[in-house]
Chains A and B, each alone.
Chain A
């Protein structure tokens, strides 16, 4: 256990569905991240929240919509996804403010399949 939990662990959805992924961190960190992990590709950073404000959006399609209501929770809202969006979605958290030294703590991921 890393102190970062994600639900659901597995999700199958159709292209017209709307679903949400949830992430919760119990580490008191002030930054949270969404990553996409696809086979044979580097981990792709999707969104970064620092102190509950979005500070990075790596040109992610608008069908992915993040929400960070407080420093412990992060959501990824999904709608009208495409089959190529099938991947493992990872949430991570870290503590900022010490020269960038701190590692990120990852959740177990949500395995998403889009039919």
Chain B
């Protein structure tokens, strides 16, 4: 069974600080990887995704993530955070088997950016 670990449950940063949120997964086969974001009072939405090709993927709002297969990791990064990045971030893994998808989510990381 696949699982996802997010190491930082609550992160507090000042504006302009750099961000890196850790995500590790356990699954032996081919995976698709996602980061979702949930802004306060809003729905979960996709930030970025990886399914093949360049392991460094870029998403919306200046976020990027790097897939390191040997480390089973898919860490999220942003060089300079803004107050508007305050949100909860979820890493998710989907076994790439076609047909029905079973997506497993991490517990989430709450990011608080202080102006």
Contact = CB atoms under 8 A, between A and B. Distances in A.
A19 B4 CA distance: 33
Given A43-B105, A56-B100, A56-B102, A100 B45 contact: no
Contacts of A106: 36, 43-45
Nearest to B5: A42
A59 interface: no
B32 A100 contact: yes
Given A99-B51, A100-B95, A108-B43, A40 B100 contact: no
A2 B36 CA distance: 13
A11 interface: no
Given A100-B32, A100-B98, A43 B43 contact: no
Interface in A59-104: 90, 92, 94, 96-104
A40 B106 CA distance: 10
Interface string B92-107: 0011111111111111
B40 to A, nearest CB: 12
A94 B42 CA distance: 19
A31 interface: yes
Contact of B103 (A45, A55, A98, A105): A45
Interface residues of B, number: 28
Contact of B107 (A42, A98, A101, A105): A42
A50 B106 CA distance: 23
B42 A103 contact: no
Given A42-B4, A42-B106, A103 B100 contact: no
A11 B105 CA distance: 25
A12 B90 CA distance: 27
A31 B94 CA distance: 15
24 contacts: A41-B107, A42-B4, A43-B108, A56-B100, A90-B43, A90-B44, A94-B101, A96-B100, A97-B98, A97-B99, A98-B98, A99-B32, A99-B96, A100-B95, A100-B96, A100-B98, A100-B101, A101-B32, A101-B51, A101-B96, A103-B34, A105-B46, A108-B42, A108-B43
